[in-house]
Chain A
Amino acid sequence: MLADRPPFEDLYREYLGRIYAYVRSQVGTSADAEDITAQVFMNAYQAYARFEARNTTPAAWLFRIARNATLDHFRAHGRRERLRRTIEHQPQAEEDPASEAEERIRYRALLGHVALLPERQRDAISLRHSGLTFEEVGTLMSCSEDAAKMLYHRALKALKDSVQKEGA
């Protein structure tokens, strides 16, 4: 019902940063993160008339769209990304000039480690630290709340090992 839904702009202002951070933790450049984030909110804007607050939370709804958009991005750009990696003289993702505009990112290295985790572990970490409950994480990842917790903790340990391995 319309009365159940806040104005879309409220959602937009509240969740843009969180959605961007989630997407940014999944993809290699801030430019890609902006493109995907834009797609997420444009899709959400168009679909908002069908959003029913009694069935899901706005956060879970938006993160579902974001997760799908990110997966679509990987599917669509897999070839290009592989190409980039194999071509000499191409700048590394972190040298992408577009990322220079991303002034507020302070934990680039840590997010880099997150991005290297297996897909489900990466998702569990990213969704959880984007502010979702374990129940919401489980719903998005098609598993139970308990399974989401276990996955998250395994991911956390894998992340710790990855960070320590680089520091060693």
Chain B
Amino acid sequence: MSEPEELELQALQRQLDDAFETTRPRPGFEDDLWLRMQSRRPFTTRLGDAIAGLVAGIRAVPAVPLASVAAVLVVLLGVGLFSLSGLGRGGASGTERQLSLNAGGAAAVPTSAGSFGRLPSPVLAPAGASQGPQLSLPAPAPAAGTYAGPVTLTWAGQVNVSIGTAPVFRYSEPSTDSADQFAASLGAALERRPAGLLGLYTASDYTLSVRGTVQAPAQEPAYFILTAPSLPGVSAAGAQPADIAELFLAEHSLAPQWPYTTTVDGPADQLRVHFLRQFETPGYGLAHLVDSGGNGYGLEVDLNGNRPVLASGPLPVSLDSAPYPIISPDQAVRDALASSPPPSADGVPPVKVQLTSAELVYVLVAAGDHSFYEPAFLFSGSFQVNGVQYVKRVLVPAVDPSQRG
């Protein structure tokens, strides 16, 4: 190497040293981040809670009749054109950013097997519902075309779930401080605390509402951003609705930090973009979060043309995770087939429905101070009645019954 070139490289090294030594975050970032970290409970505290959980069992969990322990969620949804519209779900969905870096499932703080103690069991809704028994999970309004008659189930598929344990995720009910921190991280200021909300906040071009967990039907803590009419549309030539929603979220630091798939529905001038949340399940892959109807959900953005109107998603919360034994695929199939609603009193003959697919999913179970995302098997199969296409979905709780309260 020639001497001039050597000197040039040395000069470049000095510039690099300067560059790295003088590149620092904005003033205030260091203290802001430290405060955020302090607001999270340390690992040792969570571990202590987990041990206490083994002793205390499912404190704060509503009493559950034993008969419902093995409950199987059965939902008949007339699909037709409505099967996956998700329009009934109104926005308990989610995004986490800095405050919830471990809230996406994959990065949740793991603890030892079964360390949350006995888990709350899904609770059956009162008998007589036209759709059959349901759990106290997020329950969308029945979609048009719902088939309410009796069915007889058969199974003709394969359950490709070969794992013996699956993580259960738990979060603590967020406080008003948590909501305030989330709002502050977005640049929104507290306006007031209306009943039922953790806070109502305002920013320059939107209002932000934050609420805690809804117990029944269960919905996770969520935020709702209603944009002001003055908010300009997203200027992005050639962008599709999902791209516009992504850009809006990214610009507001709300982009999902968890895995997701994207769907779009609604009329052309009132599109809704769904970011369907997934949980990483070791040995299986990504499992969608679903409501009691088996519909995936997550973060949602409503668009009017290229202008975001409403964005809703789960409030950032810290998730702990613990592996729990799950039932075998054979047992899941048996539970699914045993879930047929009783024959109707009016003598309508049951329709034969063949379930043909199954996947592992996650469902929310609200339970007081702590709520859980629990694994479940989702079976589905399509059938026709009087020329109308329907889809039957059956949710079977996956956690082994011995681990449930």
Contacts and interface: CB of A to CB of B under 8 A. Distances in A.
Interface in A33-88: 33-35, 37-39, 41-43, 45-49, 76-77, 80, 83-84, 86-88
Contact of A102 (B26, B40, B250): B26
A80 B102 contact: no
Contacts of A39: 98, 101
B235 A21 contact: no
B40 A42 contact: yes
Interface residues of B, number: 45
A90 B36 contact: no
A105 B239 CA distance: 32
Nearest to A12: B34
Contacts of B63: none
Interface in B26-47: 26-27, 29-30, 33-34, 36-37, 40, 42-44
A52 to B, nearest CB: 15
B237 A20 contact: no
Contacts of A157: 9
A166 to B, nearest CB: 13
B203 interface: no
A35 B98 contact: yes
Interface stretch (A23-31, A133-141, A143-151): A23-31
Interface string B73-117: 000000000000000000000000110011000010100000000
B16 A46 contact: no
B50 to A, nearest CB: 14
Interface string B1-30: 000000011001101111111111111011
A80 B44 contact: no
B253 to A, nearest CB: 7
B162 to A, nearest CB: 25
Contact of B15 (A9, A20, A107, A131): A107
A160 B17 contact: no
Given A12-B34, A107-B19, A157-B9, A89 B98 contact: no
A37 B17 contact: no
A13 interface: yes
A120 interface: no
B253 A104 contact: no
B236 A20 contact: no
Interface in B145-169: none
A162 to B, nearest CB: 10
B191 interface: no
Contact of A13 (B18, B30, B107, B246): B30
B34 A9 contact: yes
Nearest to B11: A160
If over half of B's interface residues share one DSSP class (helix, strand or loop), that class is named, otherwise mixed; here it is helix
A129 B24 contact: no
Nearest to A39: B101
Nearest to B44: A49
Given A38-B33, A83-B246, A129-B20, A156 B12 contact: yes
A105 to B, nearest CB: 5
Contacts of B236: 87-90
B23 A24 contact: yes
A71 B1 CA distance: 34
Interface in B234-278: 235-239, 243, 246-247, 250, 253, 255, 257
Nearest to A131: B20
Contact of B23 (A20, A34, A77, A90): A20
A107 B13 CA distance: 13
B16 A125 contact: yes
B20 to A, nearest CB: 4
Given A42-B101, A105-B23, 4 more contacts: A33-B25, A42-B102, A49-B43, A83-B246
30 contacts: A9-B34, A12-B37, A16-B25, A21-B19, A24-B23, A25-B20, A41-B33, A41-B37, A42-B98, A42-B101, A45-B37, A45-B42, A77-B255, A80-B250, A87-B238, A87-B239, A87-B243, A90-B247, A103-B26, A107-B16, A107-B19, A107-B23, A110-B19, A111-B19, A129-B16, A129-B19, A130-B20, A156-B13, A160-B9, A163-B12
Interface of A: 9, 12-13, 16-18, 20-22, 24-25, 30-31, 33-35, 37-39, 41-43, 45-49, 76-77, 80, 83-84, 86-90, 101-107, 110-111, 114, 125-126, 129-131, 156-157, 159-160, 163
